[in-house]
């Protein structure tokens, strides 16, 4: 064997050794990746199991808590909204966990800020299911409770908070800003959002909750300078089934005061809906 053949043979042996070692390492890496993938699947299975156990525990605890509540299955349905008299007719329903012998059930309510409770006649529909129907002021907030009375005493539990006034107030969102650009010039923007998809809007009175009037009043140094009808002929007024939106933007020049810097600027926005409810907002000055 020549010297050249020996060198070539030696190179082939070295290459085969390197290939063998590389294969062993690749196999080890593949085995490790396989093990890691199994671990990942096991962790996912454990997470799913823990999530399932957590949900079951929550449901069982919730059922136990509900079983301890005396007044159960609370709910109400709005039957009518009388726009002219500003009344909302509601049927309230509930089920009692138990009722002791000779106990009589009463429904009490009081308006927010009032210390005196008023009682309504209760209808026992069947078994431990009860209901009451009443007309509340559409702009009022009410606390309610259920009472069971007998010769030996009474027990009570809170029912539902009927926050009709808060809902009526919060459905209209007004945002306004006013800027002093330079002497005699003001820039203001007004955004109005009226949410129509609430429980008051029975289809036949949806129009009553829409915006009927929207005005902006500009005061400069305490003096009313301009009245702006931001509803009429406004191309950015969007009137849809579930909502109304108004966007108004204007750069205003105060005539005769071009060289002045105003000490105080106030932009007051007043919106009125079809039931005569008024919403006001004073702009933020920058």
End-to-end CA distance of the chain: 97
Domain check: are 76 and 52 in the same one? no
242-249 average pLDDT score: 90
Identify any residues that bridge with 253 across adjacent strands, giving them in sequence order. Answer: 185
80 and 41 both lie in a single domain: no
- Mean pLDDT, to the nearest integer, of 174-201? 84
Residues 207 and 102 in one domain: no
Mean pLDDT, rounded, of the chain: 82
Q: For position 123, what pLDDT does the model report?
A: 94
The Cα 165–Cα 99 span in angstroms is: 33
Phi, psi of 229 (to 5 degrees): -85, 100
Domain count within the chain: 3
Q: Residue 136 in contact with residue 88, Cβ under 8 Å? A: yes
The winner for highest mean pLDDT among 53-62, 173-182, 230-239 is 173-182
pLDDT for 254? 73
Q: Which residue has the higher pLDDT, 252 or 131?
A: 131
Distance set, CA 7 to CA 4, 18, 34, 158 (Å): 5, 17, 40, 97
Which of 51, 68, 85 terminates a domain? The answer is 68
DSSP line for 146-157: EEEEETTEEEEE
CATH of the domain at 204: 2.60.40.10
pLDDT tens-digit map of 124-172: 998 899 999 999 998 899 999 999 998 888 999 999 999 988 888 888 9
For residues 61 and 76, membership in a common domain is answered with: no
Chain centroid, CA 1 distance in Å? 90
Q: 156, 103 in Cβ contact below 8 A?
A: no
Greater pLDDT, 57 or 221:
221
Sheet holding 185-195, edge to edge: 237-239, 243-253, 185-195, 172-182, 284-285
pLDDT of residue 162: 93
pLDDT of amino acid 117: 96
For the residues of 73-104, what is the DSSP string, one character each?
A: EEEEEEEEEETTTTEEEEEEEEEES---TT-E
Q: What is the pLDDT of residue 136?
A: 95
Contact 45, 102 (CB under 8 A): no
Q: Are residues 119 and 157 in the same domain?
A: yes
Domain boundary among 113, 142, 162: 162
- Does 209 lie in the same domain as 239? yes
CB 140 within 8 A of CB 237: no
The answer on 259 and 274 residing in a single domain is yes
Which of 98-102, 179-183, 230-234, 281-285 has the lowest average pLDDT? Answer: 179-183
Same domain assignment for residues 6 and 24: yes
- Mean pLDDT, residues 56-76: 68
Q: Do 62 and 106 belong together in one domain?
A: no
Final residue of a domain: which of 52, 68, 84? 68
Residues 257 and 190 occupy one common structural domain: yes
- Is 266 found in the same domain as 187? yes
Block residue for tokens 């209808």: 123
User: Is-contact 122 144, C-beta < 8 A?
Assistant: no
pLDDT band with cut points at 50, 70 and 90 for residue 50: low
User: For residue 31, what pLDDT is reported?
Assistant: 73
Which range marks the domain in which residue 243 is found?
171-285
Residues 158, 107 share a domain: yes
State residue 255 phi and psi, 5-degree precision. -65, 135
29 pLDDT band (50/70/90 cuts)? Answer: low
What average pLDDT does this structure show over 165-192?
A: 86
Predicted confidence at residue 208, as pLDDT, reads 86
Lowest mean pLDDT among 37-41, 210-214, 226-230: 37-41
pTM of the model: 0.65
> Which segments within 102-258 are labelled E, that is strand?
104-111, 118-120, 123-126, 129-137, 141-150, 153-158, 162-163, 172-182, 185-195, 211-220, 223-229, 237-239, 243-253
């Amino acid at each position: 064997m020549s010297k050249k053949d020996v060198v070539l043979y030696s190179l082939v042996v070295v290459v085969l050794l390197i290939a063998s070692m590389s294969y062993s390492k690749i196999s080890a890496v593949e085995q490790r990746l396989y093990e890691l993938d199994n671990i990942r699947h096991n962790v996912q299975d454990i997470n799913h199991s823990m999530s399932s156990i957590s949900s079951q525990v929550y449901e069982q605890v919730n059922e136990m808590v509900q079983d301890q509540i005396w007044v159960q299955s609370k709910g109400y349905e709005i039957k009518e909204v009388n726009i002219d008299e500003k009344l909302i007719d509601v049927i309230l329903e509930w089920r009692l966990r138990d009722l002791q012998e000779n106990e009589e059930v009463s429904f009490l309510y009081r308006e927010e800020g009032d210390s005196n409770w008023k009682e309504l006649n209760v209808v026992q529909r069947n078994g431990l299911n009860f209901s009451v129907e009443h007309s509340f002021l559409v702009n009022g907030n009410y606390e309610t409770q259920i009472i069971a009375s007998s010769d030996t005493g009474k027990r009570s539990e809170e029912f539902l908070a009927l926050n009709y006034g808060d809902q009526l107030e919060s459905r209209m969102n007004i945002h306004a800003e006013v800027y002093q650009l330079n002497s005699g010039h003001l820039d203001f923007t007004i955004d109005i959002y009226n949410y129509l998809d609430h429980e008051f809007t029975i289809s036949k009175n949806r129009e009553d909750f829409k915006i009927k009037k929207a005005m902006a009043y500009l005061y400069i140094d305490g003096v009313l300078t301009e009245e702006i009808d931001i509803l009429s002929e406004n191309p950015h007024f969007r009137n849809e089934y579930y909502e109304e939106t108004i966007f108004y933007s204007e750069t205003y020049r105060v005539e005769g005061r071009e060289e002045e810097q105003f000490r105080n600027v106030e932009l007051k926005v007043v919106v009125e809906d079809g039931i005569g409810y008024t919403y006001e907002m004073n702009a933020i000055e920058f």
